[in-house]
Structure 1
Amino acid sequence: DRERIALTVAARHGCGYCTAAHSAIGNMVGLTEAQIHDARRGGSNDTQVDSLLRFVHRILETKGHVEDADLESFRSAGYSDAAVAEVVAHIGLNVLTNFFNSVAETEIDFPRVEALAS
C-alpha cells in the first residue's frame, strides 16, 4: 500500500520524479501496470484499496481536516486507527519528497512515465 499511497500523492502534486520513481518501485514490489495506473488516478477495482486511496485523496483535499464520515468509511473497509496514523505519516513523507524534488528540479533517473490524460 505504501507505493500506491506514494503514487496517488505524486500524481496529485504533479511530481514527475516521484511518479517515475514510485512507478518503477511499484513494478519491483509486484504491482501491475494497471494497478500503478489506478493508484496514480487515486482509485482501484479492489474495494479495500479503493477505500484507502479515496481516504488519501480526502486527506489531501482537506489538508488533513477530514470529516467523521471519512474516517468511518475508511474504518468500515477494515482499517484500524493505527492504519489511519500510518496513512497520514506516509502522506506527510511523500508530500515532503514531492515538494523537495519539484523545487530542486531533480533529474529523473528512473524510466519516465506518461502524464495521465485529464
Structure 2
Amino acid sequence: MGGDHTVAVLALSDEIVRGRGTVDDTVLADVRAAEVTDVEVAEIVGHLALNTLTNCLNNVAGTGNEWPLVTPRSHS
C-alpha cells in the first residue's frame, strides 16, 4: 500500500462525506486503479457511517465537547 492507495482512500472518504453517500464514477475508477479492495471500500463506508451516527446521537443528546477548543493558525 503506497501513496496512491492512501490518496485514493482519502479522496473516496471525502467524496462520500461531501456527496452524502453519492460517489462519482471517476472517483471509483481512481479507487480501483489504486487497488483499493471491495472490503476496504466497505470498511471506509462503515467507519464514516458510524462516525455520522455518533455525531447525530451526540447532537440529539446534547453531549458536551470533551476536547479543548482549537483555533486555526493563520498562514502568513
**Residue in 1 that maps onto 2:44:** 87
Unaligned runs of 5+ in 1: 1-45
State the number of aligned residues. 72
Give the Cα separation in 1 of the matches to 2:56 and 2:10: 20
**Residue in 2 that maps onto 1:61:** 18
**Residue in 2 that maps onto 1:114:** 70
Give the Cα separation in 2 of the matches to 1:68 and 1:115: 36
Structure 1 or 2, whichever has the larger Rg, is 2
Query: What displacement does 1:100 show?
Result: 1.2
Query: What displacement does 1:70 show?
Result: 1.1
**Residue in 1 that maps onto 2:35:** 78
Percent pairwise identity: 32
**Residue in 1 that maps onto 2:6:** 49
- Tell me the TM-score normalized by structure 2: 0.72
Unaligned runs of 5+ in 2: none
CA 94–80 in structure 1, closer or farther in 2 if over 3 Å, else same? same
Larger helix percent: 1
Which 4+ stretches in 1 moved above 6 angstroms? none
